[in-house]
Amino acid sequence: MGSAGRAAGRDAAAVTGLECRIYRVPTDQPEADGTLAWSDTTVVTVEVQAAGEAGLGWTYAPAACRSIIEETLRPVVVGSDVFGAPGTNAEMVRRCRNFGRPGIVASAISAVDIALWDLKARLVGLALADLFGRCRAAVPVYGSGGFTTYDDETTAAQLEHWTGELGIPRVKLKVGESWGTNVERDLRRVALARKCIGDDAELYVDANGGYARKQAVRMGVVFSESARVSWFEEPVSSDDLVGLREVRDHVPCDVAAGEYGYDEAYFARMVSASAVDCLQIDVTRCGGYTSWLRVAGLASATGLQVSGHCAPNLHLPVAMAVPNLRHVEYFHDHERTDPLLFDGCQSVVSGELRGGTDVLGHGMTLKDVEALRVVRPVLRGLEPRAVDARFDELFFDQIGARPVALARRDSGRTKCPPKAERIGSRRRPELLAGQLVRNVSFGTKRKEKVYRAPAPLTEPCEDRRRAGHRRRPARSRRCARRRLHHVLKYDVDRPSQPD
């Protein structure tokens, strides 16, 4: 943007509109860490408008965020100074006083704050990285995923993707399985990871608060000595600052935490307790770019490095702006989800995120929403089997994405060759796009089976009937409903009304 554009930007004194949308994208297969399991990622996007420009922000949080954004934050944002993101951020925090800031409220504020900064940068014709001021040309990342639900083959393939294809010299594995009750498998998976990545790459583990204090110390020592683990994330609950400090004092690897920091005071308490070696800050939770930069300053003043938690594309501008950055988390779910929804995402090359300097704002825009919006009407009225084929065509092909693990399994390395007639008898079949069924049961008796369904889910019921089995129309309908429900999880929610 030239000087005329910048002048127009200065004249555009007020935000004129705000739109919030929700997208829910299923994971490519069931995922879990030490203390939580999930099957989809919900993305809440915010667009703010002024002078013909739009700024984009988002958070990974429950759809309930939209109520906070539309009912409470919109009145603060619309009409506010387009160049006054910190002031608007403070007013949003004040308006939410009675709701409790941590959690959904802070996630909502974060999405709006990011959108406001993006809008400002676009109006003045700058990349956000330049607006914040750069101190590095590229941002180191670490590969993050390694879920406890993965079998060895999947874990090895993901590690190879990071270290081999993307050249990332540091990777992270989830441990603390089932709240620390399966340490034998933790140790075996960590040993497998070290074997897969070789001697040169750094190996991190994340227990997500799954261990008890003494247990975490014992595990940390073993991880370090047996597999040269150098980063132990949330060995105990992040709320247990004394416990984090105790572990930090007794293990050789660095202790990290901070991903549940929803306000600056949280990080101040963590720093005061000397609980961590590296402070993790999540720009989609802590209060957006405004708060992320303040917390990074707090860490710098106390001699700590910071790491961007998840959301690698959104972290890029601020990660380039602070000297005390260690790295940004390149999280598997967001590696999949972001390119599905946004144009302009950056790619990892030789273990680093580059770019973000020859763009306006953070450089990302919401993909053609109209293209996404056609999914639901087209699917209505179709038979479940037709829905699946049509959905794949509309969503994955049109949006240009295909789950990595699915593609890999499609290449013929599928485990457990199936018996078609057994598919309908599975208790929890979860249909992935395409024709794969994976059944995972959590609990003390773990069963994991992945196999290729030679036909859609409703087929086995029909097969049984043809084969003379007792007719079970109710079962067939249940299959169809479950299948349809899964497909509709991809649906794009109806957008809010713009101002």
List interacting residues with Mg ion (CB under 5 A).
206, 233
Question: Which residue from 171, 157, 83 is spatially nearest to 126, judged by alpha carbons?
Answer: 83
Taking the complex as a whole, the smallest distance from the CB of residue 324 to Mg ion amounts, in Å, to: 20
Question: Which residue from 81, 80, 16 is spatially nearest to 51, judged by alpha carbons?
Answer: 16
Angle at 387 between CA 383 and CA 393, to 5 degrees: 150
Q: Looking at beta carbons only, is 47 or 206 nearer to Mg ion?
A: 206
The sheet that has 436-441: what strands, in order across it?
430-432, 436-441, 447-452
Taking the complex as a whole, the smallest distance from the CB of residue 231 to Mg ion amounts, in Å, to: 10
Taking the complex as a whole, the smallest distance from the CB of residue 244 to Mg ion amounts, in Å, to: 13
Q: Looking at beta carbons only, is 146 or 355 nearer to Mg ion?
A: 146
98 secondary structure, DSSP code: G
The residue ranges of DSSP E strands in 121-253, in sequence order, are 139-144, 170-174, 202-206, 229-233
436 φ, ψ (degrees, to nearest 5): -120, 140
Q: Looking at beta carbons only, is 122 or 248 nearer to Mg ion?
A: 248
Taking the complex as a whole, the smallest distance from the CB of residue 207 to Mg ion amounts, in Å, to: 9
Taking the complex as a whole, the smallest distance from the CB of residue 144 to Mg ion amounts, in Å, to: 8
Q: Looking at beta carbons only, is 88 or 144 nearer to Mg ion?
A: 144
8 A C-beta contact, residue 148 and residue 195: no
Q: At what angle do helices 213-227 and 183-197 cross, to 10 degrees?
A: 30
Q: Give the residue at shortest CB distance from Mg ion.
A: 206
Taking the complex as a whole, the smallest distance from the CB of residue 233 to Mg ion amounts, in Å, to: 5
Q: Looking at beta carbons only, is 190 or 432 nearer to Mg ion?
A: 190
Q: How many CB atoms lie within 10 A of CB 370?
A: 8
8 A C-beta contact, residue 77 and residue 48: yes
Taking the complex as a whole, the smallest distance from the CB of residue 280 to Mg ion amounts, in Å, to: 7
HSE-CB of 111 using CA atoms within 13 angstroms? 29
Q: Looking at beta carbons only, is 280 or 435 nearer to Mg ion?
A: 280
8 A C-beta contact, residue 304 and residue 276: yes
Q: Looking at beta carbons only, is 233 or 338 nearer to Mg ion?
A: 233
